[in-house]
Amino acid sequence: MSEQIAEAAPPARYAMGALFGVSAVCVWATWIAVTRLGVTTTLSVYDLTMLRFGAAGALLAPVVLRKGLALERLGPWGLLMLVCGAGAPYVLVAASGLRLAPAAHAGALLPGAMPMFVAALAAVLTRERFSASRKLGYGLIAAGVAAIALGTAPLADGALGHVLLLGAAFIWACYTIVLRAARLDSLHAAALVATGSLLLYGPIYLAAFGARALEAPLHDVLFQTLFQGVLVSIVALYFFGKAIELLGASAGAAFAALTPPMAALLAVPILGEIPSLVEQAALLCVSLGVYLASGGRLPDVLPRRGRD
């Protein structure tokens, strides 16, 4: 029903939903470049993770206190998987991959491989079946990922970075499956992830490193704290939730297809990384694949039986 409402939405409603969707993607694409910049200059992967969840956990703790742990929907293991899948373990793996691989590769491997892993888990765990257009999307994603992994990683560090990025995509896919099954609202889920990560990772970080993050320049610490803890963990999540609310799940999720090329474009001025022709072709394949896998429609010229 929500998809039918989205299709019938007036232009103003669609424009507003599109604005929220594009805004969320802009933040996520910028996160790839900004995180790579942080972990290759003044901050370590561990510092950046602490700054992110220290800020987001403190800001979202009142949401957890008000709404609870949702154990009746998640159970203890589900709650742990939720926190690990989008929390500190995910960020540690993803940021480690970004330290070794270019931002354009991360733009393809992270948002590109996520829906592929989600589909595989859904097929195994819930026996979900997929339409022809979604299968085509997964095929395009696989082709793009293979081009990145096999055609652009001559160095061991680059290959390890790709493995870490694919591992992070799989971890997030597990989070997605748990979130879908529990049917939590996005803000409550984000609060559980952020607060849980702060409680679990914070003591470990402080015991191992102390106030190590404060050794970095103050402007770097403040910038990464605001960007990671507020803009990425709270604002972007709210924007994406509003896009889903206004446009429906499939149409809203289709905006994720903009992440790979946008991340590559942002890496040029921020990091000075220019994608090769092979990388550009792979990004195009992944973007189109994510669009179709997220429920994006095939052109009207195709037979109706070939659509979702």
253-265, pLDDT tens digit by residue?
Answer: 666 667 777 887 8
Residue 306 binned pLDDT confidence (cut-offs 50, 70, 90): very low
Quote the pTM value.
0.80
The CA-based dihedral angle spanning residues 125, 129, 135, 141, taken in that order and rounded to the nearest 10 degrees: -20
Spans of all domains in the chain? 2-306
Residues near 33 by beta carbon (within 8 Å), at least 6 away in sequence: 103, 263, 266, 267, 270, 271
* Residue pointed to by tokens 């971890």: 171
CA 46 from chain centre, in angstroms, equals: 19
Digit-coded pLDDT (tens) for 166-176: 999 899 888 88
Which ranges of the chain does DSSP label H, i.e. alpha helix? 2-7, 11-39, 45-67, 71-86, 88-100, 103-125, 132-151, 156-182, 186-209, 218-226, 236-247, 249-253, 259-271, 277-293
